[in-house]
Amino acid sequence: MVGAYVRMRQQQKRDEGSKRHFTHTSPRTLLGILRLSQALARLRFSDQVVTEDVDEALRLVEVSKASLYNDSRSQGDQSNSTKIYNLIRGMRDSGAAAVGDGSRGELSIRKISERVIAKGFTQDQLEQVIGEYELLDIWQRAANGTRLVFIEAGDTDDEMNM
């Protein structure tokens, strides 16, 4: 939870100069995520909040922010490949598929796969998208294909091979 909040604050700093003026993240945002997580647990008739509840709450916050930027006049590419890529990118931004504390920027392909399949896509479509964007040097697989790492513009080969 703390790692996700830190990532949201970092994203806010990156977005400050752009047109994304709805990215304000405060302790109140964190409280909202906690309350959403609790509500999701109650929907499952549970007294305990689990990681999946927090992940879904983070996703809901990200989707609600993204809806503020959607321009109905410019739909852009809405192919399955783009939808899956946007889903994975959203998971990276929210920390929903982060491995460990998320500080290394690695995503669990298992968690990605679960979310993509839950959204109605197939495992084959996911594999095709991972391969397609891997060839474009958007990301690379790590840890024997169990993790996905986005390649940032400032990354060096030494950082990528850690």
From the list 153, 161, 123, 124, the residue with the least C-alpha distance to 137 is 153
Residue 162 has pLDDT above 50, yes or no: no
Run of H or E including 147: strand 147-150
**Tokens 């006049």 — which residue?**
73
CA distance 128 to 111: 17
Mean pLDDT of the 86-113 span = 82
pLDDT band at 150 (very low <50, low <70, confident <90, very high): confident
Q: Of residues 55 and 156, which shows the higher confidence score?
A: 55
Res 145: pLDDT: 86
Instruction: Output the pLDDT for position 72.
Output: 46
Which region, left, alpha or beta, applies to residue 29 given φ > 0 means left and ψ of -120 to 50 means alpha?
A: alpha
pLDDT digits (tens, 9 = 90+) for 44-71: 999 999 988 888 888 888 777 776 665 5
Q: Give me the mean pLDDT over the 114-132 stretch.
A: 91
SS3 state at 53: helix
Q: What is the mean pLDDT of residues 100-109?
A: 77
Mean pLDDT across 114-126: 91
The Cα–Cα gap between 37 and 16 comes to 27
Those residues whose C-beta lies under 8 Å from the C-beta of residue 59, and which sit 6 or more positions away, are 90, 91, 94, 96
Delimiting residues of CATH 1.10.10 domain(s) in the chain: 80-160
pLDDT of res. 155: 53
Decide if domain 80-160 falls under CATH 1.10.10: yes
The band of 100, judged by pLDDT with boundaries at 50, 70 and 90, is confident
**Could you give the strand order of the β-sheet that contains 106-108, starting from the edge strand earlier in sequence?**
106-108, 147-150, 139-142
Distance CA 13, CA 26 (A): 12
pLDDT at position 123 over 90: yes
CA dist., res. 114 & res. 87, Å (int)? 12
pLDDT at 129: 92
- The mean pLDDT value for 15-44 works out to 80
Higher pLDDT, 113 or 27: 113
